[in-house]
Chains A and B, each alone.
Chain A
Amino acid sequence: MRTAISGLDLRSASSLDDALAILRDDPRMLVAGATDVYVAVNFGTLEPRRLLDIWALDELREISVRGETLVIGALVTYTSLIRSAAIAERLPMLVEASRVVGGAQIQNRGTVGGNIANASPAGDSLPVFAAVDAVVVLRSVDGERRVRFGEFYTGYRATVMRPDELIVAVEVAPVQGKQWFRKVGTRAAQAISKIVVAAVRAPTPRIAFGSVAPTVLRVPRTESALGEGASIDEAARILSDEITPIDDLRSSAEYRRRVSVNLLRRFWADTSGQ
């Protein structure tokens, strides 16, 4: 057997309370749909060897609207997002993002909470949550706290989560303005993004990019310029300074910079005259 599971200690939680108690007494890396964690297991690159499987926590699978707030449970899968009437009505760009995450097999297991906690700069759903200023709901045995999406990541693959916390939900306030999403990858399915962007055409637009910086990135200077009536050419120059793409195995910094600017122009053209 070529897999390296020896030394892995996987415990399964039976309920949210059970999971929180385990995390308090015996902190472990969380595993939801395992679509990222087990790739690392197979590659032999997973450093944590003590894991807590939370896949059975059905209480985290709900999509609901409370008051005006859309609440998406942490274990909601991409397949559930694609099928949800509430998501289609309130956050259609999240449906678009979900359709381009892997293929059906990954969409059936990958979760909202997993994508957020995995903290990859290329996470396909993350620009959506960044663009709409979502709130991440964290819970531990000590209670709940809400963290603004823009403050959730502290650096490359680093978050504000404590070892005893897990994500229970993400909350999204009503979004005014046309939503726009685009992913650029090597092929339509099964590609990790070279660049991913989500944007809202509000009076001051809200624009977030993935794969162009160590974390998902809002571009406030570009947003303000457009909000104050700058030309798209001027905004494109500002954007080019605002992002910090790198060369890696999927793409080059120069390509990412050029395509990011093109995507900004495309967003602006596609959402004009609404």
Chain B
Amino acid sequence: MKFTLNGETTDVAVHPAARLIDVLREDLGLTGTKEGCGEGECGACTVLVNGEPVCSCIIPVAQVAGTEVMTIEGLGGDHPLQHHFMNEVGAQCGICTPGMIMAALALGPEPTLDDVKIALAGNLCRCTGYSAIYRAVMKWKGMPPPEASGSLVIE
């Protein structure tokens, strides 16, 4: 089974029905991609296949033969979007973060806040309330970040 993984030609001997996420994590040792729900609902396992976000927990590896797969490791750890996630505290527990970042990579130039929300609609986060994530993505795209909708005042 050959495909391009994060720019490198990869050849693995795996069961064709194996889930892409298991091949990435178990056979190729790339554990940045997380499994959340296992049913295509949460987006934690998002990777790019030929530039399109997909859920790697519900794709048989046979379907990525000959394609270009990119995982969070492909960003090299120093990608501007990763820094924005850190600066805005767009990651708390961190399980959704790799998937959020991979899904956001598919956005076109100059997205509106609605564009960002739609692009990330398939990614669930149970920590941040999303605002910090939207802010990180908007800043990365050079767009005005959304204003905070309320304030936390401790008296």
Contacts and interface: CB of A to CB of B under 8 A. Distances in A.
Find the residue from B15, B17, B55, B106 having the highest chain A CB count within 10 A: B17
A11 B53 CA distance: 24
Given A3-B19, A53-B62, A108 B124 contact: no
Contacts, number: 102
A11 B16 CA distance: 8
A5 B26 CA distance: 14
A192 B26 CA distance: 31
Contact of A108 (B18, B41, B54, B118): B54
Find the residue from A2, A31, A43, A108 having the highest chain B CB count within 10 A: A108
Interface stretch (A97-105, A126-134, A139-147, A233-241): A97-105
Interface string A12-55: 10000000000000000001001100110111000000010101
B17 A189 contact: no
Contact of A8 (B17, B38, B123): B17
B53 A42 contact: no
B41 A42 contact: no
Interface string B101-123: 00100100000000000111111
B40 A79 contact: no
B145 interface: no
A9 interface: yes
A10 B40 contact: no
B53 A108 contact: yes
Contacts of A12: 16, 62-63, 65
A178 interface: no
Nearest to A102: B122
B16 A10 contact: yes
A188 B43 CA distance: 15
Query: Ordered nearest first, which 3 A-B pairs have the shortest CB separation?
Result: A103-B122, A189-B121, A38-B58
Given A42-B38, A105-B43, 7 more contacts: A11-B16, A35-B40, A103-B120, A105-B54, A108-B54, A190-B121, A190-B122
Interface of B: 15-19, 22, 26, 38-41, 43, 46, 52-55, 57-60, 62-63, 65, 103, 106, 118-124
Interface of A: 1-3, 5, 8-12, 31, 34-35, 38-39, 41-43, 51, 53, 55-56, 79, 102-106, 108-109, 188-190
